[in-house]
Amino acid sequence: MSAVEPETLAARATVAAALARGAEALAAAGIASARVDAEWLLADALDVPRGRLMADPARALDGEAAARYARAITRRMTREPLQHIIGTQAFRDLAVRVGPAAMVPRPETEALVEWALALLPDVPAPVVVDVGTGTGCIACAIAAERPAARVIALELSTAAAGLARANVGALGLEARVTVVESDLFAALGSLRADLIVANPPYLPTAIIATLDPEVSRFDPRLALDGGDDGLDVIRRLVVAAPARLAPGGALVMETAGGEQATATARLLSAAGFADVRTRADLAGVERFVAGVERTA
């Protein structure tokens, strides 16, 4: 894939012309969202909100902005995720730092947070455990929206844990969110949670190579691969969770949806959870599964 030269952009160095050239290059690279991505990248190069980008389409790009934009377009042409290039992803009301250490937060996971917050017990200082925190987006969103909550964010990957800590610090949540390197609950000690939330690896191994390059090449395999049927980590999580929940505490998880959600619900019932339910995402796919630890 050939690079986009800054001189090429500078030769037609207005916002409108640069945007058209960038969108053309991305479309030629097979990116369906070429125009939108070019807008995000040009806005980032110019340090303006995307919504203000075309307020002055005849604005001239200086050489530095043209060079930044050209580098960004070249990176996106290799199918590097837009969010990695910009460096952040919106998640609920937060701007979360992203990168190759962790999976880019998905919009559907915002609905997982919504249900988790609804399931959070009405106690003075609830304890939440976020398993496989990745960027820390779930842990940070819950802490930001429930100021009384204490959140323990568990993460197996050292690199992802570092990214999560960076997000916790950038969002000013150090006093209420603690990131701990751990394989599931191994480092949790005797602590019992009022809520456990998880977006675990749930993709069957065989399908990962068939996904868009933005996922198959750039998301960490550890965050994607759920084994032959996608349920390897979910099974471990469901078996281990009851001993880590306070009586009446809830476990809520994201799954691949459909049949996998049904299978996960069966696992929760077999593990003794009560009030096992599924919930649909915004596309109408039954994706989320929750159950409550029995009080007796």
Per-residue confidence (pLDDT) for residue 5, from 0 to 100:
58
Class of domain 88-292: alpha beta
Strands 245-254 and 274-280: unpaired
CA distances 60 to 10, 15, 17, 159, Å, are: 9, 6, 10, 40
What is the DSSP pairing of strand 177-181 with strand 274-280?
A: unpaired
At 8, the pLDDT band (50, 70, 90 cuts) reads low
DSSP 203: B
Domain borders along the chain are 6-78, 88-292
- The two three-digit tokens of residue 220, written as one number: 């960490």
Q: What are the pLDDT digits (tens) for 170-189?
A: 999 999 999 999 999 999 99
Backbone torsion region of residue 189, taken as left when φ is above 0, otherwise alpha when ψ lies between -120 and 50, otherwise beta: left
Is pTM, for the whole model, over 0.85? yes
Instruction: Kindly state the tokens that stand for 159.
Output: 């690199």
* Tens-place pLDDT, residues 61-93: 988 999 999 999 999 999 999 999 999 999 999
Query: What distance, in Å, lies between the first and last C-alpha atoms of the chain?
Result: 62
Task: Please give the Cα distance from 75 to 116 (Å, whole number).
Answer: 36
- List the beta strands (DSSP E) in the chain: 88-91, 94-97, 127-131, 150-155, 177-181, 193-198, 245-254, 274-280, 286-292
Q: Do 112 and 97 meet the contact criterion of CB atoms below 8 Å apart?
A: no
Reading the block at residue 242, the tokens are 């009851």
Amino acid identity, residue 67? A
